[in-house]
Structure 1
Amino acid sequence: MTAVTETPAWIAEITMAELEKNPYPFYERLRREAPVAFVPALGLHIASTRAACQEIGSQSDIWDGVISPAGGRTFGHPNVLNANGPEHDELRGMVDPALQPSEVDRYVDKLVRPIAKRYVEAFENDGHADLVAQFCEPVSVRALGDLMGLQSVSSDKLREWFHKLNVSFTNAAVDENGEFANPDGFIPGDEARAEIRAVLDPLLDKWTVEPDDSALSHWLHDGMPEGQTRDREKIYPTVFVFLLGAMQEPGHAMASTIAGLWSRPEQFERVVDDPKLIRRAITESLRWTSPIWSAVARVNKVDTTVAGTFLPAGSVVMLSYGSANHDGNAYDAPSDYDLDRAPVPHMAFGAGKHGCAGTYFASEVCRIGLEELFETIPNLERDETKGIDFWGWGFRGPVELHANWEV
């Protein structure tokens, strides 16, 4: 990593705790004064503007995928985020087939709709719920878990795994020597990985000799010579990526969509009355609060300059999509949720060869979940006695979302 001298005090003094609670003020200043800047608390550069993120994300001849030190410590290597060249092609060839839009359209409704119905029916007669804990996250983890072949793992356990992996992944602070400031912060992730392997090893043994249509069974067999299966040590790092990023993304997008619509009650009513608007509402929420807020990085293969900052070869740059999606040069009043915003594409799913593989799947899970929720409880209202707190810098979404309705 590249050392930078004379880092401005306002950058040098930022802490991970501040970024996790509310990254927006810091990133607004970064976009204005230092679009690509070295942040000592993280030990790497940050790209904060839409233009810088697009430039880096689209130039695969200059930039390779890489992962933050905390991400590498959490997932292991190689994974679909930090592999490059033929290795990346193999991993994307492993995960992409089940996530292609035409394939997702084949199975997603019959996969997700019964799950969403089951969860909303569990509380529809209560008159109140925390939608994050009781609906958005459970629907998200159950849908992906069943797609992967993890029907035997409870939704509560899947949620526990992704929360523990998130604690580990976001334990990104480093000291002045570039060492992790809180090594114990990786303990939850280590515990989750050990549990995941204990559960998955017998399943992988079974799928090796009895393949089925689950995604993980395909990961073992697809693209392999007859009679051979993919080494599970090649599979596990990407499994951990999915059990964090892909597990949380639809749920947090769902929750952020509800929170955004609640900030504009008249728009909430329009969406409830006209389900065809749900897709548009989700698109705006992905821009407004990107679930993958700042979790993807690149490393340059040659010296280059981005946004006026010289970056010697080997500089690691974090692409902050949540910041790019609040860039005032691309969006009017970017801090406002607005269903009627002009359709400028957002960057919530990244760009280039390392763009999110689950873009379409995540959006469809979110759409189906909200369709079922709004149809079953059309008189859903925000519980005004409780606030809506967002948390996260790597991954971001509402912590709780309390709702009331008349039964």
Structure 2
Amino acid sequence: MTQSSQAARPDLAWLDDVTVADLERDPYPVYERLRAESPVAFIPALGFHVATTKQTCQEVAANPEIWDGVISPAGGRTFGHPNVLNANGPEHDELRGMVEPSLQPAEVSRYVEDLVRPIARRYVEAIEAKGHADLVTEFCEPVSVRSLGDLMGLQSVSSDKLREWFHKLSVSFTNAAVLPNGDWANPDGFIPGDEARAEVHEVVDPLIDRWIVEPDDSALSHWLHDGMPEGETRPREMLYPTIFVFLLGAMQEPGHAMSSTVAGLWTKPDQFESVVDDPKLIPRAIIESMRWTSPIWSAVARTNKVDATVGGIDLPAGSVVMLSYGSANHDTSDYNAPSEYDLNRPPVPHLAFGAGAHACAGASFASEVCRIGLEELFEAIPNIERDPDHEIDFWGWGFRGPTQLHARWEV
């Protein structure tokens, strides 16, 4: 990581005052200014460069000859190596081949209805008679974590515990602030993630012991066995870093996408009414939501194997560049009034699921969980509306979504 490009641009001295707390609260003003002034820039508080336009993100993601997948230092500290995000070459092929079979669109369509719809219906029934709920904590996140947890084979783990794990891992992953000398600004910020990882090992190790001798149809059992010679399984040490990736990113994404979709539709009451009246519009509403507030806002990075120039910025080999997909999805070169949620926006592809070899393997699964969850919610409670006594606060720079989403309805 280097500050060479920053030093060559004295007009970016304002970045010295940007803190991680600023980015977590609201990254959009900083990234909007960077898109205009320097589409690739070094942010001192983070200790690495960020790519903020759609063009620069795509240029880096689409050139594996120059750019390797890498994870941010805080992400590496949280997940360990190798994981599906920071592995490259044959190692990445192995990990990707391990996780992808159960996430291919055709395979997802085979099982997703039977898996997710009963879960979504159960959580709707739990709130339906109350007349009010925080949809983030009582519906969207529980549906998301329960669906993925059951797919992975973690039926024995409560939804509350799964939510606790992904929140603790998120605290650790986003503990990105560094001091000028490169040391962590808040070393204790990794304690929650360490606690979660220890608990995951305690719970999953016995399951792995059983799956080794009694394989079943759970995703983690397949990770152990598929593609291995007869009588052999993958080492559990190879699985755990990617398990942690799934317990954070894959559990977070559908829940926050669901809640952001509702929040976005509430800004356009006529569009919300249209979606409730016509469930076939739900997939389109989700697509716009993922562009409007990308759940994985800025959590994927690359490092260059040779000197490179991106967005007019010279980057010495070994530079770390975070691909800020949430910023790219607000690029005015592609989207008019990007800060507005608009169901009727012309269908321009977004980057919420990333691009290139490290694009999100679970795009189809996440989209289907969102679709089914919102279908069940809107069918059971068509008169659901925002509770005006509560604000809708979004939070996050690495992962972003509403912290709460208070709703009410007549029963």
TM-score norm. by structure 2 comes to: 0.98
Picking from 162, 166, 172, the partner of 1:168 is: 172
Aligned-residue sequence identity (percent) comes to 77
Secondary structure of the corresponding residue to residue 331 of structure 1: coil
Picking from 300, 304, 326, the partner of 1:300 is: 304
In structure 1, the residue matched to 2:79 is 75
In structure 1, the residue matched to 2:392 is 388
In structure 1, the residue matched to 2:122 is 118
Picking from 75, 96, 102, the partner of 1:98 is: 102
Counterpart mapping for 1:252-401 below 5 A: 252-401=256-405
The residue type paired with residue 255 of structure 2 is G
Measure, in 1, the Cα distance between the counterparts of 2:270 and 2:70.
43
Give yes or no for the alignment of 1:2 onto 2:2: yes
Structure 1: state its 5+ residue gaps: none
The residue type paired with residue 248 of structure 2 is L
CA displacement, residues 303-350 of structure 1 (integer Å, 9 cap, x when unaligned): 110010001111100000000000011100000000000000000000
Give yes or no for the alignment of 1:136 onto 2:140: yes
4+ residue runs of structure 1 moved beyond 2 angstroms?
3-9
CA displacement, residues 37-78 of structure 1 (integer Å, 9 cap, x when unaligned): 011101000000000001001111110000000000000001
Counterpart mapping for 1:192-271 below 5 A: 192-271=196-275
Measure, in 1, the Cα distance between the counterparts of 2:228 and 2:91.
14
CA displacement, residues 62-105 of structure 1 (integer Å, 9 cap, x when unaligned): 10000000000000001000000000000000000000000000
Measure, in 2, the Cα distance between the counterparts of 1:205 and 1:102.
30
Deviation at 1:195, TM superposition (A): 0.1
The residue type paired with residue 35 of structure 2 is R
Secondary structure of the corresponding residue to residue 293 of structure 1: coil
The residue type paired with residue 352 of structure 1 is G
Measure, in 2, the Cα distance between the counterparts of 1:175 and 1:190.
21
Measure, in 2, the Cα distance between the counterparts of 1:3 and 1:251.
36
The residue type paired with residue 21 of structure 2 is A
The residue type paired with residue 155 of structure 2 is Q
Secondary structure of the corresponding residue to residue 45 of structure 1: strand
Deviation at 1:10, TM superposition (A): 1.2
Picking from 183, 200, 214, the partner of 1:179 is: 183
Measure, in 2, the Cα distance between the counterparts of 1:69 and 1:313.
17
Secondary structure of the corresponding residue to residue 79 of structure 1: coil
Measure, in 2, the Cα distance between the counterparts of 1:68 and 1:371.
36
The residue type paired with residue 120 of structure 2 is A
RMSD after superposition: 0.6
Measure, in 1, the Cα distance between the counterparts of 2:385 and 2:43.
41
Measure, in 2, the Cα distance between the counterparts of 1:10 and 1:263.
32
Measure, in 1, the Cα distance between the counterparts of 2:94 and 2:101.
12
CA displacement, residues 203-228 of structure 1 (integer Å, 9 cap, x when unaligned): 00000000000000000001111100
Measure, in 2, the Cα distance between the counterparts of 1:399 and 1:125.
23
Measure, in 2, the Cα distance between the counterparts of 1:134 and 1:38.
39
Measure, in 2, the Cα distance between the counterparts of 1:292 and 1:159.
17
Picking from 15, 22, 29, the partner of 2:19 is: 15
Deviation at 1:9, TM superposition (A): 2.3
Secondary structure of the corresponding residue to residue 361 of structure 2: coil
In structure 2, the residue matched to 1:54 is 58
The residue type paired with residue 92 of structure 1 is R
Deviation at 1:12, TM superposition (A): 1.4
Deviation at 1:381, TM superposition (A): 0.5
CA displacement, residues 251-270 of structure 1 (integer Å, 9 cap, x when unaligned): 00000000000000000000
The residue type paired with residue 218 of structure 1 is H
The residue type paired with residue 242 of structure 2 is T
Structure 2: state its 5+ residue gaps: none
Picking from 37, 61, 66, the partner of 2:41 is: 37
Measure, in 1, the Cα distance between the counterparts of 2:223 and 2:127.
36
Deviation at 1:3, TM superposition (A): 2.6
Measure, in 1, the Cα distance between the counterparts of 2:44 and 2:320.
12
Secondary structure of the corresponding residue to residue 257 of structure 1: helix
In structure 1, the residue matched to 2:28 is 24
Give yes or no for the alignment of 1:157 onto 2:172: no
Secondary structure of the corresponding residue to residue 154 of structure 2: coil
In structure 2, the residue matched to 1:406 is 410
In structure 2, the residue matched to 1:63 is 67
Measure, in 2, the Cα distance between the counterparts of 1:267 and 1:403.
17
Measure, in 2, the Cα distance between the counterparts of 1:68 and 1:12.
19
> Would you say how many aligned residue pairs link Structure 1 and Structure 2?
407
Secondary structure of the corresponding residue to residue 297 of structure 1: strand
